[in-house]
Structure 1
């Protein structure tokens, strides 16, 4: 029998994080929400500043659906600008601060942003490309001691005076599950960057997934040193912590010694990291003698995780929890429960509770048997509705049944645990055999004398492609090709062994910590 008063459960729920921050400000406004070198903020201060900035933006013509760009390092200002945008129902566009000018112009132009909030250290780059964009209002962060001192610049408005003079905006606009919240551009290391639309629902369902399987609690302290323009850092813990009334320790960038000091001093409970961050942290003298007893949830994702790194931390009582996902999945589609860290060493885990994951044959789109590599596809409420003003890319990414095709190759074991093999486009075909660079990278990452490594294919007359290892040696080490092949031969078939070695000072990575395969292939090409 139909319910006499249909509730349309969830349809009219406000899932705007700005509303949650306002609620926290009302009920425990004196609690510290942001710990930051440039100045801490309580919930009351954060909400007030975001509300005043919302008025500044609104007076400049920003309305629901408009895009507001942010260009700068991690800071309290990033959070203020994001919440101010959310209050208006505007779409927040966090921009990768490491982009070259042509890439920056492309992202700003594609976003259609009319307003930008920028740090002085990035103003010159924005100025050079402004004519290629729809930008018409330029706000300069001038009240952060950690940011280079702002200079008078034509067309730029220092934001502190505007914020101080503006009254707080009315309560945040109610936002539903399907309303767009964030426009986040993919790194672009494999081609032109695409704008990923992330809705309030995408963020909300990811948080429900995370809270369901990780040990997160009200009042937690989380650590944000990975770039917040990257979905892993922003939506793993940081955004959720703002909603739940916790504290976010914001650092402008990652420094291993500072990270260790912060984890101890602030008794951090959760953090998101890419493997390179945790590898660097492990090299800090005394790291495993420090009191890290508060650190309950360490999620590592964003790049293949060497099993040797997981084992190293586990030896000292710290269980790294590998997860897998993309910007398009906001970010996590799978997660390895902490109790299975060692039993399923190297696995990216099982599907999140409210997310479906399959491994399919790229040619037929049919599920493959356990142990057989195939493309990982995802379906669920945390998955993007599509790409910004790019129906062709959206149509190419989703099949008729609504599965998002990730472009990642993985395999499931008999228990349904996912193991990431590689990117579909990075696969090397050598002598008719498929070689997955990530598999070779994992083996070489555990080799003594190797500080960092990447593996790519290079054209080869005899084999079609040949396997090239690009290695940053550890201090004092001088690995040779013979050393590399001898180590790899203990774990891999001979056709997977590198036939060429390039020694480099640093292995190119993008701002998200992922190997920059385009730059690495270019380096290998120049080195041949």
Structure 2
């Protein structure tokens, strides 16, 4: 669908031979003419070695001057909802819109040194691509693959000005840091996105890293909003996670009625829509997606629920598609997760709906315990009640897991967790305790 002419791929990466696999696909992909092989070992037959390109004579090379509004990158969404979407970004969107976002996190204007704990192929990781980072003369620090120990070691060795990752990864780092001697060198900012950030995690991270925690809300579809370096830790409340005040130099944001796309007044909850310098060009080879996710006047539909308060601050409430419908009543998993993560015995929590013949769906929770003794479902219910959540929003099934599985984009893998809860192919896992159901009452 992307009609790629050339592809750069690894000769060998964690046991996979991507360059050879792509070369084998050339007869089936009419547009693909060249596979460039990078990495250790010989290049597969029929591919072009990266080292050969480096040895070529640059004397006759004449660099092209592309149209700033032409496509420079195709970003693939995480696929957490369904089939991943391919989104085309222009030079202006990466250097301008995304570049303006990064500029807001560099108060002294000095070149940043950014440690990315997420894949560069993700929407969050695309802030570390050459076009965006090169605008600021920045340095990119990467891990071969994420582990909390490797991430902490990179912070100590490379002393990054900015650490960018998902809340789950940072919670794992905080757990390992409990037994690590010595304070971490303080970055300028710890930037967390890709999943809702709760107050407990934000406060612990700010203390451990000795720097401001920036809460980033964004997506592959060109949405960006974030708290500033001088902002307080985002408060946890039933009104949603504070995502900051939209910056029109990056992306303009408004709240619209999901059915009509008409703007809603301040304070009302609706779908978050966005457009501006960071807005991508289109969905690649999928006009049906453009029609579905874009309004006639160019606003990108996020599928997220939120509200703008009287001060213009965005609060993200949850996902339209993540809503659990229990007996006709809507439950936002994100709202329940925010409260559960403040429980003293909970390190992390992910809520999701599971099928039920009586109620249609019931809310389940997967919990990573903070200590050796995990909390009970009843204890979690009491905690939620004390926080003011109605009984219908309390989880009715509990699964204690050793860690939250993540997708390639670093987000909680709800599909795997749902399998474990419902007895699907991924049900049996070492380190899981049994799924505990509550007495079922309508």
TM-score interval (norm. to shorter): 0.7 to 0.9
Q: CA deviation at 1:239?
A: 4.3
Deviations 1:274-314, CA, capped at 9 Å, x for gaps = 11222122222466952523x11322111111211112233
Q: Which residue of 2 aligns with 1:352?
A: 247
Residue 398 of structure 1 corresponds to: 294
Q: Report the equivalent of 2:431.
A: none
Cα shift at 1:320: 0.6
Deviation at 1:151, TM superposition (A): 4.9
Aligned mate of 2:75, from 181, 184, 204:
184
Aligned residue in 1 for 2:377: 481
Greater than 6 Å deviation, 4+ residue runs: none
**Matching residue of 1:267:** 159
Partner residue, 1:32? none
Aligned to 1:387: 283
Instruction: Report how far residue 160 of structure 1 moved.
Output: 1.8
Partners of 2:146 and 2:105 lie apart in 1 by: 23
Aligned position for 1:301? 193
Quote the RMSD (CA, aligned, Å). 2.7
Unaligned runs of 5+ in 2: 428-434, 436-442
Asked if the contact 2:171/2:348 (under 8 Å) is kept, the reply is no
User: Is the 1:336–1:348 contact (alpha carbons within 8 Å) kept by the matching residues of 2?
Assistant: yes
1:476-511 per-residue CA deviation (whole Å, 9 max, x = no partner) reads 233332232222222222111001112334433211
2:138 is aligned with 1:243: no
Counterparts of 2:233 and 2:416 in 1: how far apart (Å)?
34
Distance, in Å, in 1 between the alignment partners of 2:247 and 2:51 is 42
- TM-score, length basis structure 2: 0.84
1:495 corresponds to 2:386: no
CA change 1:152–1:263 in 2 (3 A) is: closer
Match of 2:106 in 1: 215
* 2-structure distance, mates of 1:219, 1:116: 30
Spell out, residue by residue over 1:337-365, the C-alpha distance to the aligned partner (whole angstroms, 9 max, x if none). Answer: 22222375641111113221111221232
1:281 and 1:287 in contact (8 A); partners too: no
Q: State TM-score, norm by structure 1.
A: 0.71
* Partner residue in 2 for 1:252: 144
Tell me the residue number matched to 2:169.
277
C-alpha distance in 2, partners of 1:139/1:170? 19
C-alpha separation in 1, matches of 2:154 and 2:382:
40
Aligned partners of 1:321 and 1:341 also within 8 Å: no
User: Which whole-Å CA distance do the structure 2 matches of 1:238 and 1:138 have between them?
Assistant: 21
Q: Distance in 1 between matches of 2:146 and 2:242?
A: 26
**Any conservation in 2 of the 1:209–1:353 contact (CA below 8 Å)?**
no
Counterparts of 1:135-174 in structure 2, within 5 Å, are: 135-142=32-39, 149-151=40-42, 153-167=44-58, 170-174=61-65
More helix per residue: 1
> Per-residue CA shift, 1:200-245, capped at 9, x if unaligned?
1111222453255323523222223321111312325864332322
Q: Which shifted more, 226-235 or 132-141?
A: 132-141
| Structure 1 alignment gaps of length 5 or more | 1-109, 143-148
How many residue pairs match? The answer is 410
